[in-house]
Chains A and B, each alone.
Chain A
Amino acid sequence: MSTPAYPKDFSMKKRRSQKVAFIVFRVLSLLIVLILFAILGFIIYKGAGVISWDFLSKAPSDGMTAGGIFPAIVGTLLLMLGSAIVAFPVGIMSGIYMNEYASRGWVVKFIRLMTNNLSGVPSIVFGLFGMALFVKYLGFGDSILAGSLTLGLLSLPLVIRTTEEALKDIPAGIREGSLALGATKLQTIWKVVLPMGMPRIITGLILSLGRVSGETAPILFTCAAYFFPQLPASIFDQCMALPYHLYVISTSGTDIEAQQPIAYGTALVLIVIVLVINLLAGVLRRHFENRLKMK
C-alpha cells in the first residue's frame, strides 16, 4: 500500500495549535502567580502597619485590642516543634517499613489505603478525636502535649507518603550493590537508601510543618487558648497560636473593628513563618543534595 498524500498545510496547523496551547498554559500559570501575589500583597498592605518590635515581642493587652502577639508566635512554634517530634520519627519509619520491608502483600496495601484516607479526613475530625483520646481519655487536658499529638497525627499521612515516594525512586541496583557486599538490609537502608532519599524526605517534612502551622481546627479543642498572655511553663499548659488568635480576634473579639489591623498583622506573621520555613527547606534540600554529589 502506498502512503496517502500528506494533507496540505497540516504542518502549519499543528504548529499553530501548539502555539495556542502554550499561550493558554502560560496565561493560566501567570494567573495563579498573580492571585498568589494579590493575596500576599493584600495581607502586607493591611498588616504591615502594625508590625513593630512591640507587636512581635509583647503579649496582647487591653482586651486584645492592643499589644502584640508574642505568646501566639511562641505557641505556634512550639506546636510545630511538638508535632514534628511526634510525626517525623513515626512517619519516616513507617514510610521505610512500607517501602523497604513490606512493599507487597495485602497488609501494606491496606495500610496504604488507610493512610491515604487519613489524609482526606477533615482536620476538625482530628480535633474531635484528639480531644476524646488525648485530652479526656489520657487526661492530658487542653495542653501543648495534646495539641502536638493531634497535629502530629494530622501530618503523619503526608510524612509517610513522601518518605515512601522518595525511597521508591531509588534504583534497585543501588540496594543490590550494597547487599552484595555483605551489608544487611538495615545497613543498606541506613547508609545508602536513606541518605539518597533525604532531600525529598526533608521537603515532605517541611511541607507538613507548613500545614501544621496554619491548622486551627485540630487545636481548637485540644490546646489553643483564647487568651494566655504568659508563656507556657510546661507541655501540660495551654498556649495561644497564630491561626487561632486570628480566628478569635476576627470573630469573637472584644472590639472587632479596632482589632482588624492586629488580625492582618497576625496573618502576615503567619505567612512569613511559613515562607521562612519553605526557604529553609530549600536550603536543607540543597545541603543534602550537595552532600550526595560532593563536588
Chain B
Amino acid sequence: MEKIEAKDVNFYYGSFHALKGISMEIPQNKVVAFIGPSGCGKSTFLRLFNRMNDLIPGARLEGEICIDGKNIYAPGIQVDELRKEVGMVFQRPNPFPKSIFDNVAYGLRVNGIKDKSFIAHRVEEALRGAALWEEVKDKLNASAYALSGGQQQRLCIARAMAVSPSVLLMDEPASALDPISTAKVEELICELRNEVTIVIVTHNMQQASRVSDKTAFFYMGEMVEYDDTKVIFTNPHKEATQNYITGRFG
C-alpha cells in the first residue's frame, strides 16, 4: 500500500527551479532513503512532506503530494494536524531548553493532551522506543542539554514518536553524530519501521544501504532513479547512479 505519493512535483525557491517533475510512491511501513550530492534537492523534497517549506518566503510548489490518498497541499488542510501525523527529526539535534520529560511531552501537550498519567505513560513508551529510557529514567527532570549529542538525537526521535505519527521524516539524522551514536540511531530506524513509514535523507551511502528498503537517487533537482535499495547499490540502471554510488562524484 502506498503511504506517500508525489505527483509531478515541481518546486521553486523564487526563480530557482529546485525540484523538477518528481513523481514517486513511498510504501507504508518501509524505509526509503534519499541520496544524492549536496544541493540536489533531496532535503527540499523531504521537507515538502510535512510542509516545512511553507516557512520559506518566495517558495512555490506545483503538483500534488498525497499522504494516505489526501493531497496535503489542498486548501482546508490544517498544517498542525498534518505535522502531528508526519513527524520530523532534524540534522542537528534540536532539543528544547526544557527537561528530558518535558521535551518528550511537548508534542502531546501542544496538541491538547492534559491527562498527566497518559503523558507519563507515553513519555516512557517513547523513550523506550528510542532506546533511551535506561539511560535517562533516573534523571527525567534534568535538562535535555545535559545529554550527549547522540542521546539528544535519540531524545528528538522519542519526541517525534511520542505523538504517534504514521510517517517519520529524517533529515540526515546522524550526520552530526559519532560512529557509535550513528549505529544506535540506525538500529532504531530498523526497529521503528514496524510502527511508521520512514523517509530518510542521508549523505552516507553505507547508511542508506544498511537501513533502507528502497532508495531514490537525486541529482540537480531531478530524481534520477528510484528502486529497491539492493538494485540501486548492486545493479543501478542509470549511469549517473552508478557513478555516484561508486564515488566517482558527489
Contacts and interface: CB of A to CB of B under 8 A. Distances in A.
Q: Do A and B come from one complex?
A: yes
Secondary structure type dominating chain B contacts: mixed
Contacts of B107: 181-183
Interface string A175-213: 011111111100100011001100000000000000000
Contacts of A177: 90, 94-96, 156, 159
Given A104-B57, A174-B96, A182-B163, A293 B145 contact: yes
Contacts of B160: 180-181
Contacts of A24: none
A294 B146 CA distance: 9
Interface residues of B, number: 31
A192 B96 contact: yes
B99 A294 contact: yes
B203 to A, nearest CB: 18
B180 interface: no
B159 A181 contact: yes
A34 interface: no
A178 B80 contact: no
Nearest to A190: B110
Chain A CB within 10 Å, residue with most, of B96, B143, B156, B160: B96
A165 B154 CA distance: 31
Contact of B143 (A171, A178, A187, A293): A293
A180 B110 contact: no
A89 B143 CA distance: 29
Contacts of A173: 90, 92, 94
Given A179-B55, A293-B145, 10 more contacts: A180-B50, A180-B52, A180-B90, A181-B110, A181-B111, A182-B84, A182-B163, A184-B80, A191-B110, A295-B142
Nearest to A188: B110
A292 interface: yes
B150 interface: no
